Structure 1
Amino acid sequence: MYATQALTHLVPLAEELDKNKVTPGVLGFIVFAALAVGVWLLMKSMNRHMGKVDFEEAPEAPEGMGAGAGASGSAGSAKQK
Structure 2
Amino acid sequence: MYATQAVTQLVPLAKELDENKVTPGVLGFIVFAVMACAVWLLMKSMNRHMGKVDFKETPADVTEPTKAPAGGPTT
Give unmatched runs, 5+ long, in structure 1: 1-17, 73-81
The equivalences for 1:1-81 within 5 A come to 18=18, 21-59=21-59, 69=66
Give me the whole-angstrom Cα distance separating, in 1, the residues matched to 2:19 and 2:61: 68
Instruction: Determine helix, strand or coil for the equivalent of 2:38.
Output: helix
Aligned to 1:10: none
Q: Which amino acid aligns with 1:26?
A: V
Q: With structure 2 as the length reference, what TM-score do the two structures score? A: 0.50
CA–CA distance in 2 between the matches of 1:19 and 1:59? 71
TM superposition score normalised by structure 1: 0.47
- 1:30-57 residue CA offsets vs partner (Å, 9 max, x unmatched): 0010000000000000001100111212
Computed over aligned residues only, the root mean square deviation of the Cα atoms, in angstroms, reads 3.3
Q: How many residues align?
A: 50
Unaligned runs of 5+ in 2: 1-17, 70-75
Q: Percent identity among equivalent residues? A: 72
Structure 1 stretches of 4+ with a deviation exceeding 3 A read 18-21, 58-62
Q: In structure 2, give the amino acid aligned to 1:31.
A: V
